[in-house]
Amino acid sequence: MSIEPTTLPVRSGEDVVRVRQAVRTLAMDLGFSLVDQTKVITAASELARNTLTYGGGGEVRIERLNDGPKRAGVRLTFEDRGPGISNIDLALTDGFTTGNGLGLGLNGARKLSHEFDIWSQPGVGTRVTITRWK
């Protein structure tokens, strides 16, 4: 990935794979350890699936952060114009799901990230931003 930030669509299962690959390429390029790469890829996968399954599709913005020589990071912003989340606290509870998953995705992505921000409005959409530093 030479030009950043990049915005990728999240509209199919194949798109979710492409998001994982793009995040992996960036994390490798930034010199993330294998464990850190795996964590940010896994978080990206959870959020991309949420965007697809619950948000009805959307997009992700992938950013390279360079905050000083020792502080490189990956920031991902997933955005959809789906039904939104009426109770964010509940949606962040492990085991809670309105779909047929395990209900670990949203909170799992939060646990795997250093920074986590969620904005959602019923009927408007959802935006989730995560950052993982090197």
Partner 1 sequence: MDRVPILRLGDCLLVTVQVDMHDELAMTLQDDLTNKIVATKARGVLIDISALEMVDSFIGRMLGNIAAMSRILDAQTVVVGMQPAVAITLVELGLSLPGIRTALNVDAGLALLRKVLDRSGEGSYVD
Per CB under 8 A, residues contacting partner 1 are 12-14, 16-17, 20-21, 24, 34-35, 37-39, 41-42, 45-46, 49, 94, 101-102, 104-105, 107-108, 111-112
Which is nearer to partner 1, 17 or 90 (by Cβ)?
Answer: 17
- At a CB cut-off of 8 Å and minimum separation 6, what does 8 contact? 15, 18, 19, 22, 59, 60, 62
Q: 99 or 122: whose CB is closer to partner 1?
A: 99
User: Is 1 or 104 the residue whose CB approaches partner 1 more closely?
Assistant: 104
Q: Provide CB contacts within 8 A for 105, sequence distance 6+.
A: 46, 47, 49, 50
Residue with smaller CB distance to partner 1, 6 or 38: 38
**Geometric angle at alpha carbon 107, from 105 and 112, rounded to 5°:** 90
Contact (CB, 8 A) for 51 and 58:
yes
Rounded distance, CA 59 to CA 123, Å? Answer: 17
CB of 58 to partner 1, least distance (A): 16
> Least CB distance from residue 87 to partner 1, whole Å?
20
Minimum CB–partner distance for residue 104 and partner 1 (Å): 4
